[in-house]
């Protein structure tokens, strides 16, 4: 990353006028990091095993001393098994889907069968009389979709229906059967309006208008969203020329005139749905003195804040609990329309209400990755140096904006002239949501194929070209340089054959693509660590575990400070009453939570040392916590079990709460909720594919995934996430695609048998190489990996496809039809 | 042939036969075949009662215990386990037999509990994820899943564990291909398959060794 100056907002609080100003005035430079007393600290910087150097940073005075490399630690950096693993393999882990409260009612939504309609009337009387029904609620406002800039542009008692499957009303009844039966009795009179479901049709001037006027689309903490204040003509909103505040720069026309080689092509990607195994869901329990929400969410605070705002409750009257979240991938923020209905119904019925999407609704309205049509043109000199990059991109996120294709064009490679135009195209389809590296996956698919094509055109090795232009000097660029080397050795790059070498119908090839993602820090991240008089240690933070292993890494970091084992630590997340914690999105939990946790644990340990020191007749500075024991430095014989020492010290309870400090070097950009470093997160992936040129079937046989995430806190869990990113990337590249019926606007494959996702038989052999990179920026130097692991895969597969067949595949997914079409091109 | 409308016939063809329920949806020829077959069964054993739409008593052998509940005949085994018995370890991911999150054992065979009527589990030993461990001692596959991180969000995990454990019980010498086959119907969106393969093979190896020694 370089020149990172802006990002998505977090809660959509920015008013359009503010946004316009921000775009006009340019991004704000954040204030210097960490005001207050500080010290100059020598720290190790670089990739462990590949040349470290010492740097000096200005560090807050009360930050713990820097950690050495992982090999010298006992808990951090070790492949510790997931602490909640036993709960998950025994079925004891309680997801929102599993919450059953006394007197709980079952919620059922009434969905519009039409893709575009005004609602003339709704008659709920028969449903209200149905036995077992306790409450009925009609949708008054819609979340997740784009909002009209001028709400008065549309009149009507009920929100206009803009996609088939949009919720209209809901019932709560004492059994699922009664709720379903009653929902069918709700009579809705619609006035159908003309609709449009394909991006190509929607872009036409005379296409039916999805919205009657210009719109705004706030982002969630997972990213996505669209910048405010952009022009809108018909269904086409844009252009956005500064994705995440970056670019344009130079003069691309001049750049192309100076270019010796120009590579230009159009790329198309499909709509992908999130398909978390646990669908979106919320159980609302409205009581006079407290609203308790059990939510399948990626950020408990987003659920609390939205519920408090919409129901005008103080935040201390809303509690959100999320013990386990069964996957999210970017789509699970806020209360959602289902949650809004659940809360209304619970308030009316005075009973808890469970509202969980079924698999069909999950596809239709739970979120998706927008499609894209990208026209990308890159100009270069014969030596490979880039001169100009120009992109025009259209994408549709249905009734929501946010179809940009990332920020890689102006940040990944050195290029003096960059111009990007991105447009949102509205269609009568379910709203998009942030999806694992929103935009960047689509953008990299096109950019990394173009760079590959350029390498071929100028007769340069694909890795050598990248080495020449990936030179920003940021941490991610340094990591990629090392990753290219390690990966090339592992995969056998030197034996790569020229494109289309196989003579028979089955063709094999090897390709590479680079990853890039922002290194985000969630500001206002806190952690409380508590030591009880019996020697037990607990840590609390209002973050959540969506499958990444948050509890485990939290326990590892705290255990390190006390010389305990991770399983000795009680690690608690998933409750909005704990100190504020990061969103599980933007690959930011580990980078944000672990420094706060270490800082709190360190303070606890030092205070404990002071309390224990008299027992040993030593000074507190000489007390050492290691291997479950307390001892005096240099006197092994003094060792006493940790618990015994705490008990003898007379401590009843001590606790410290600490915050995530700013990165020691500061940030390129900050909003009230998050900061973005000028450094990014890298990654390089190599793919081997086999293409059957007679059937058009593509198999990904092997992926070598080389990644960096700062200091890996737990390499075992990190590897799992990289497996997941690669597998989702292969799935996106080869299979996944939402199919809408243009006539009815209904999704034809809103299930998991016809919406094809990689299964056990299609999983390639995946080899993961993980760097340990110390950036000297925080008390743990940890960064995330979830999104970087998903960014490069489809592009690497596409480049391998070219190496196999000698043909470019510029359309995803690589279904037989798309593959055979690509093979027919000349 | 015109069976009597009177269910209180002193010599009923089938015990407690509700004619209305029985004929619903049955074609004439199918009916004849069914009658012959069921009559033969009825001669040797008490045939199953035909159940109306209202709830009936259901007795199940569940995780080694006898469970008696009232359920309507349309109840799936997954619904019964989760909603009536509060056993939420069994997940429902698609409710149409396509994701296998709801996998349980009927006797020693795996079955999608969302596609199995609760009443069809009568007379079979039902084992769910809650009944796989022996007290505090995890099944070798459960232990191997934890050790090899064969789970991320964990929602597909109970079903995945049931299928892999069934494979290991059936064939401790299973190969990678066997494991892929055993979980081919399971959907894991987090993409944890490589570790599922690793864990299952590790468990098989461990249990194979154990059996060899005994």
Give residues 575 to 634 of A whose Cβ lies within 8 Å of B. Answer: none
Distance from CA of B127 to the nearest CA of A (A): 12
User: Higher confidence at residue B208 or residue B141?
Assistant: B141
Q: Strand A133-138 relative to strand A167-173: parallel, antiparallel, unpaired?
A: antiparallel
A86 contact B CB<8A: yes
**Per CATH, which fold does A96-193+280-356 belong to?**
Aldehyde Oxidoreductase; domain 3 (3.90.1170)
Residue B95 CA from chain centroid, whole number? 14
Interface test with B, best of A81, A82, A91, A357 (most B CBs within 10 A): A91
What pLDDT, in 10s, does the model give residues A389-444? 999 999 999 999 999 998 999 999 999 999 999 999 999 999 999 999 999 999 99
Distance from CA of B57 to the nearest CA of A (A): 19
Rounded Cα distance, A193 and A115, in Å: 8
pLDDT of residue A227: 86
Q: Give the H/E segment covering residue A490.
A: helix A475-491
- pLDDT (mean) for A109-117: 98
Domain with CATH 1.10.150.120 in chain B: 140-209
Q: The CATH number of A524-659 is which of 2.30.130.10, 1.10.510.10, 3.40.50.300, 3.30.365.10?
A: 3.30.365.10
Q: Give the H/E segment covering residue B92.
A: none
A176 contact B CB<8A: yes
User: In the predicted model, is pLDDT for residue B26 greater than 60?
Assistant: no
Alpha-carbon torsion angle B107, B111, B115, B116, nearest 10: 0
Residues from chain B contacting residue A179 (CB–CB below 8 Å): none
Q: The CATH number of B140-209 is which of 1.10.150.120, 3.30.70.20, 3.90.320.10, 3.90.650.10?
A: 1.10.150.120
What pLDDT, in 10s, does the model give residues B44-54? 556 666 777 88
User: Higher confidence at residue A434 or residue A222?
Assistant: A434
Q: Which 3 state secondary structure label does DSSP give B212? A: helix
pLDDT band at residue A333, thresholds of 50, 70 and 90?
A: very high
CB contact under 8 A, B192 and A724: yes
- From residue A379, how far is each of A242, A253, A257, A391 by CA, in Å? 20, 10, 9, 12
**Cβ distance A48 to A70 under 8 Å?**
yes
Rounded Cα distance, A240 and A726, in Å: 30
pLDDT band at residue A246, thresholds of 50, 70 and 90?
A: confident
A93 contact B CB<8A: yes
Residue boundaries of the structural domains of chain A: 96-193+280-356, 524-659
Residues from chain B contacting residue A760 (CB–CB below 8 Å): 179-181, 183-184, 186, 193, 196-197
Q: Give the H/E segment covering residue A13.
A: none
Contacts of B197 (CB under 8 A, 6+ apart): A760, B176, B179, B180
Rounded Cα distance, A140 and A169, in Å: 9
Q: Give the H/E segment covering residue A170.
A: strand A167-173
CB contact under 8 A, A91 and B129: yes
Alpha-carbon torsion angle A310, A316, A317, A318, nearest 10: 60
pLDDT of residue B40: 47
Sheet (strand A697-707) strand order: A506-514, A684-692, A697-707, A765-770
User: In the predicted model, is pLDDT for residue A12 greater than 70?
Assistant: no
What pLDDT, in 10s, does the model give residues A652-694? 999 999 999 999 999 999 988 899 999 999 999 999 999 999 9
What pLDDT, in 10s, does the model give residues B91-124? 999 999 999 999 999 999 999 999 999 999 999 9
- pLDDT (mean) for A127-133: 98
pLDDT band at residue A14, thresholds of 50, 70 and 90?
A: very low
User: In the predicted model, is pLDDT for residue A2 greater than 70?
Assistant: no
Distance from CA of A410 to the nearest CA of B (A): 31
Rounded Cα distance, A669 and A560, in Å: 32
- Per the prediction, chain A carries an average pLDDT of 95
A-B contacts (CB, under 8 Å): 167
Please tell me which of the candidates B92, B101, B142 has its beta carbon nearest to residue A89. B142
Please tell me which of the candidates A87, A176, A326 has its beta carbon nearest to residue B153. A326
Rounded Cα distance, A19 and A776, in Å: 34
User: In the predicted model, is pLDDT for residue A16 greater than 80?
Assistant: no
What pLDDT, in 10s, does the model give residues A358-387? 999 999 999 999 999 999 999 999 999 999
Burial class (CB in 10 A: 0-12, 13-18, 19+), B97: middle
Q: Strand A117-123 relative to strand A765-770: parallel, antiparallel, unpaired?
A: unpaired
Q: At what angle do helices B140-147 and B157-170 cross, to 10 degrees?
A: 130
- pLDDT (mean) for A260-281: 98
Closest CA relative to residue B196, chosen from A732, A766, A78, A272: A766
What pLDDT, in 10s, does the model give residues A779-794? 999 999 999 999 999 9
pLDDT of residue A122: 98
Architecture (CATH level 2) of domain B56-131: Roll (3.10)
Residues from chain B contacting residue A93 (CB–CB below 8 Å): 154
What pLDDT, in 10s, does the model give residues A170-181? 999 999 999 999
Residues from chain B contacting residue A275 (CB–CB below 8 Å): 187, 189
User: In the predicted model, is pLDDT for residue B34 greater than 90?
Assistant: no
User: Higher confidence at residue B25 or residue A542?
Assistant: A542
pLDDT of residue B14: 40
Rounded Cα distance, A182 and A131, in Å: 8
pLDDT of residue B11: 42
User: In the predicted model, is pLDDT for residue B18 greater than 50?
Assistant: no
pLDDT of residue A696: 98
* Residue in A closest to B157 by C-alpha: A89
User: In the predicted model, is pLDDT for residue A562 greater than 70?
Assistant: yes
- The stretches of A187-333 forming alpha helices (DSSP H) are 199-202, 252-258, 300-310
User: In the predicted model, is pLDDT for residue A772 greater than 90?
Assistant: yes
Q: Which 3 state secondary structure label does DSSP give A234? A: coil
């Amino acid at each position: 990353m370089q020149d990172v100056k802006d990002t998505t907002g977090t809660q959509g609080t920015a008013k359009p006028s503010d946004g316009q100003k921000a775009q006009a005035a340019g991004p704000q430079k954040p204030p210097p990091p960490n005001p207050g007393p500080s010290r100059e600290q020598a720290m190790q910087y670089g990739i462990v095993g590949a040349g470290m150097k010492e740097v000096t940073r200005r560090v807050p005075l009360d930050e713990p001393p820097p950690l050495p490399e992982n090999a010298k630690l006992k808990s951090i950096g070790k492949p510790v098994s997931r602490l909640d693993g036993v709960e998950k393999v025994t079925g004891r882990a309680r997801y929102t889907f599993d919450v059953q409260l006394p007197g709980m009612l079952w919620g059922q939504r009434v969905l519009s069968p039409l893709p575009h309609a005004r609602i003339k009337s709704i008659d709920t009387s028969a449903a209200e009389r149905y036995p077992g029904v306790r409450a009925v609620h009609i949708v008054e406002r819609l979340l997740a979709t784009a909002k009209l800039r001028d709400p008065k542009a549309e009149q009507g008692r009920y929100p206009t229906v803009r996609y088939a499957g949009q919720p209209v009303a809901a019932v709560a009844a004492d059994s699922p059967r009664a709720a379903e039966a009653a929902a069918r009795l709700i009579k809705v009179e619609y006035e159908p309006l003309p609709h449009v479901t394909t991006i190509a049709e929607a872009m036409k001037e005379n296409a039916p208008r999805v919205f009657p006027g210009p719109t705004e689309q706030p982002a969630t903490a997972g990213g996505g969203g669209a910048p405010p204040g952009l022009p809108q003509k018909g269904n086409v909103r844009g252009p956005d020329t500064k994705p995440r505040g970056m670019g344009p720069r130079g003069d691309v026309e001049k750049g192309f005139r100076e270019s010796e080689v120009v590579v230009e092509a159009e790329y198309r990607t499909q709509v992908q749905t999130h398909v978390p195994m646990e669908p979106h869901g919320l159980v609302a329990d409205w009581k006079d003195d407290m609203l308790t929400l059990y939510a399948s969410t990626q950020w408990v605070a987003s659920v609390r804040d939205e519920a408090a705002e919409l129901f005008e409750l103080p935040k201390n009257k809303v509690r959100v609990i999320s013990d386990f979240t069964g996957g999210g991938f970017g789509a699970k923020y806020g209360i959602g329309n289902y949650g809004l209905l659940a809360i209304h119904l619970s308030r009316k019925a005075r009973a808890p209400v469970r509202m969980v999407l079924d698999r069909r609704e999950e596809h239709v309205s739970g979120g998706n990755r927008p499609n894209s049509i990208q026209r990308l043109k890159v100009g270069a000199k014969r030596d490979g140096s880039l001169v100009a990059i120009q992109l025009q991109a259209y994408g549709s996120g249905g009734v929501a904006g946010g179809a940009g294709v990332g920020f890689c064009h102006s940040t990944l490679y050195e290029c003096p002239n960059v111009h990007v135009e991105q447009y949102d195209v509205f269609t009568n389809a379910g709203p998009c949501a942030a999806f694992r590296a929103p935009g960047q996956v689509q953008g990299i698919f096109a950019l990394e194929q173009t760079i590959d094509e350029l390498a071929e055109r100028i007769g340069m090795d694909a890795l050598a070209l990248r080495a020449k232009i990936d030179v920003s000097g940021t941490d991610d660029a340094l990591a990629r340089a090392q990753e290219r080397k390690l990966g090339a050795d592992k995969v056998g790059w030197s034996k790569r054959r020229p494109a289309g070498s196989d003579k028979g119908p089955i063709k094999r090839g090897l390709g590479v693509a680079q990853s890039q993602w922002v290194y985000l820090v969630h500001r206002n991240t806190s952690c409380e660590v508590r030591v009880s008089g019996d020697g037990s240690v607990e840590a609390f933070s209002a973050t959540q575990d969506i499958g990444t292993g948050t509890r485990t890494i939290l326990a590892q970091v705290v255990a390190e400070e006390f010389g305990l084992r991770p399983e000795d630590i009680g690690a608690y997340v998933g409750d909005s009453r704990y100190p504020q914690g990061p969103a599980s999105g933007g690959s930011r939990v580990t980078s944000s939570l672990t420094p706060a946790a270490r800082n709190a644990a360190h303070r606890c340990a030092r205070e404990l040392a002071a309390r224990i020191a008299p027992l040993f007749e030593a000074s507190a500075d000489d007390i050492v916590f290691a291997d479950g024991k307390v001892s005096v430095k240099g006197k092994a014989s003094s060792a006493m079990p940790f618990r015994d020492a705490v008990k003898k010290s007379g401590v009843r309870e001590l606790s410290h709460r600490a915050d995530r400090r700013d990165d020691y070097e500061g940030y390129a950009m900050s909003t009230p909720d998050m900061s973005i470093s000028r450094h990014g997160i890298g990654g390089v992936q190599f793919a081997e594919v086999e293409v059957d040129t007679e059937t058009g079937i593509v198999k990904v046989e092997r992926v070598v995934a080389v990644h960096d995430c700062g200091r890996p806190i737990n390499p075992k869990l990190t590897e799992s996430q990289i497996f997941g990113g690669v597998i989702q990337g292969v799935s996106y590249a080869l299979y996944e695609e939402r199919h809408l019926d243009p006539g009815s606007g209904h999704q034809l494959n809103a299930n998991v048998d016809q919406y094809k996702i990689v299964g056990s038989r299609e999983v390639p052999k995946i080899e993961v190489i993980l760097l340990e990179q110390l950036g000297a920026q925080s008390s743990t130097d940890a960064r995330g990996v979830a999104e970087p692991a998903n960014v490069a895969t489809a592009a690497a597969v596409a480049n391998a496809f070219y190496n196999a067949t000698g043909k470019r595949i510029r359309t995803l997914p690589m279904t037989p039809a798309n593959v055979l079409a690509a093979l027919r091109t000349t | 042939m015109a069976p009597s409308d009177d269910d209180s016939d002193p010599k009923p063809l089938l015990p407690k036969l509700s004619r209305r329920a029985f004929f619903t949806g049955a074609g004439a020829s199918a009916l004849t075949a069914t009658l012959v077959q069921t009559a033969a069964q009825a001669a040797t054993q008490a045939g199953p009662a035909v159940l109306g739409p209202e709830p009936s008593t259901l007795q199940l052998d569940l995780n080694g215990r006898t469970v008696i509940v009232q359920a309507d005949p349309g109840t799936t085994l997954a619904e019964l386990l989760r909603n009536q018995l509060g056993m939420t370890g069994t997940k429902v991911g698609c409710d149409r037999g396509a994701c296998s999150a709801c996998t349980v054992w009927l006797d020693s065979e795996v079955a999608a509990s969302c596609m199995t009527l609760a009443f069809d589990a009568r007379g079979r030993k039902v084992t769910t994820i809650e009944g796989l461990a022996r007290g505090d001692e995890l099944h070798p596959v459960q232990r191997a899943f934890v050790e090899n991180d064969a789970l991320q969000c964990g929602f597909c995990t109970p079903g995945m564990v049931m299928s892999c454990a069934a494979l290991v019980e059936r064939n401790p010498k299973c190969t990678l291909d066997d494991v892929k086959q055993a979980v081919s119907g399971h959907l894991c969106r987090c993409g944890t398959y490589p570790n599922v393969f690793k864990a299952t093979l590790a468990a098989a190896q461990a249990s194979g060794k154990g059996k060899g020694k005994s």
